[in-house]
């Protein structure tokens, strides 16, 4: 049975090393979750973690939270903020994860802006199919309705759902990553390649758009045949006066 893990350390300080003495952290789980198959964890219940006079997490009493790697669904994270003793927000909010090992878990190892929010955990469908996403997913605290340009996006598929095991989108210039509350769409600058990902299921769709076509009509007997070249392949559309 999974248990909560004690969190320690942190060493929160200012630029000159003065500790965030007697400040506190707030932990907000990214979404409602479940642990051990029966216990519900309410995301809206913000947890307050006290810091000691050295800016470290107080150990008396021990402060413990549910590790993200033992709760469902996979890929959750905590939005963590640090406040001074008088309530001023000084750090974060940053997306971070607490793991079940080591125990206790030293939060000093956290690297700000390093957790991919909205992509799920390492064992879920998403990270196995998508990687190297631009930093916007690290820092905004979730998906948002805005277009974001990125330099490069690499999609990896374990079940051929993008039609390729690896598909790279070089997006510098007019390429775009569009994120909405239902999915992610990636369009390359030539408007040739498009990938769409359903964020709820992880289902991906990769396709090439028809960008070059050569319509030219010809006639065969009583029918008209219109060849159309799409991405190098010729298709024929027949027009006939015969029902």
Partner 1 sequence: MARVAFPLSVFQDSDGNPVSFGRVLVNISTDVQTPTPEHIAASFVVGIDLDVNGAVIGSPLVWPNAELTPSDAVYVYSVYSQVGQAIVREASLTV
Whole-number Cα distances in Å, 154 to 14, 68, 77, 137, 234 = 37, 26, 23, 14, 30
* Least gap, CB of 180 to partner 1 (angstroms): 27
Kindly tell me which residue out of 10, 118, 120, 202 binds partner 1, with binding defined by CB under 8 A: 10
* Least gap, CB of 55 to partner 1 (angstroms): 8
Kindly tell me which residue out of 11, 131, 141, 189 binds partner 1, with binding defined by CB under 8 A: 11
Kindly tell me which residue out of 5, 7, 20, 24 binds partner 1, with binding defined by CB under 8 A: 20
Whole-number Cα distances in Å, 202 to 120, 129, 136 = 9, 8, 19
Distance of CA 136 to the CA centre of its chain: 9
* Least gap, CB of 56 to partner 1 (angstroms): 8
Residue 189 is a binding residue for partner 1 (CB under 8 A):
no
* Least gap, CB of 20 to partner 1 (angstroms): 6
Distance of CA 200 to the CA centre of its chain: 11
Site string for partner 1, 68-107 (x = CB under 8 A): --------------x-x---xxxxx-x-----------x-
Kindly tell me which residue out of 16, 42, 200, 221 binds partner 1, with binding defined by CB under 8 A: 16
DSSP state, residue 128:
H
Task: Check if the beta carbon of residue 83 is closer than 8 Å to that of residue 90.
Answer: yes
Task: Measure the CA–CA gap between 191 and 157, rounded to whole angstroms.
Answer: 21
Written as six digits, the tokens of 130 are 């998508």
What kind and span of H or E run contains 81?
Answer: strand 78-83
DSSP state, residue 115:
S
* Least gap, CB of 89 to partner 1 (angstroms): 6
Q: Which residues pair with 95 in a beta bridge?
A: 79
Kindly tell me which residue out of 2, 6, 13, 194 binds partner 1, with binding defined by CB under 8 A: 13
* Least gap, CB of 109 to partner 1 (angstroms): 6
Contact positions vs partner 1 (CB under 8 A): 9-18, 20, 55, 82, 84, 88-92, 94, 106, 108-113
């Amino acid at each position: 049975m999974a248990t909560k893990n004690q969190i320690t350390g942190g060493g929160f300080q200012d630029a000159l090393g003065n500790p965030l003495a007697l400040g506190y952290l707030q932990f907000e789980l990214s979404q409602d979750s479940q642990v051990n198959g029966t216990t519900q964890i309410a995301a809206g219940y913000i947890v307050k973690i006290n810091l000691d006079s050295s800016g470290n997490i107080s150990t008396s009493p021990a402060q413990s939270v549910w590790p993200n790697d033992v709760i469902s669904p996979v890929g959750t994270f905590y939005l963590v903020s640090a406040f001074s003793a008088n309530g001023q927000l000084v750090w974060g909010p940053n997306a971070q994860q607490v793991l079940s090992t080591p125990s206790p878990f030293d939060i000093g190892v956290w690297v700000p802006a390093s957790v991919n929010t909205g992509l799920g955990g390492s064992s879920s469908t998403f990270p196995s199919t998508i990687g190297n996403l631009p930093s916007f997913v690290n820092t905004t605290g979730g998906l948002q309705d805005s277009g974001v340009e990125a330099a490069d996006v690499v999609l990896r598929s374990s079940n051929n759902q993008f039609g390729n095991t690896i598909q790279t989108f070089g997006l510098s210039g007019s390429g775009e990553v569009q994120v909405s509350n239902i999915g992610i769409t990636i369009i390359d600058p030539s408007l040739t390649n498009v990938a769409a990902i359903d964020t709820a299921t992880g289902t991906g769709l990769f396709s090439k758009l028809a960008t070059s076509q050569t319509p030219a009509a010809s006639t065969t007997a009583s029918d008209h045949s219109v060849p159309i070249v799409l991405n190098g392949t010729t298709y024929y559309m027949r027009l006939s006066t015969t029902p």
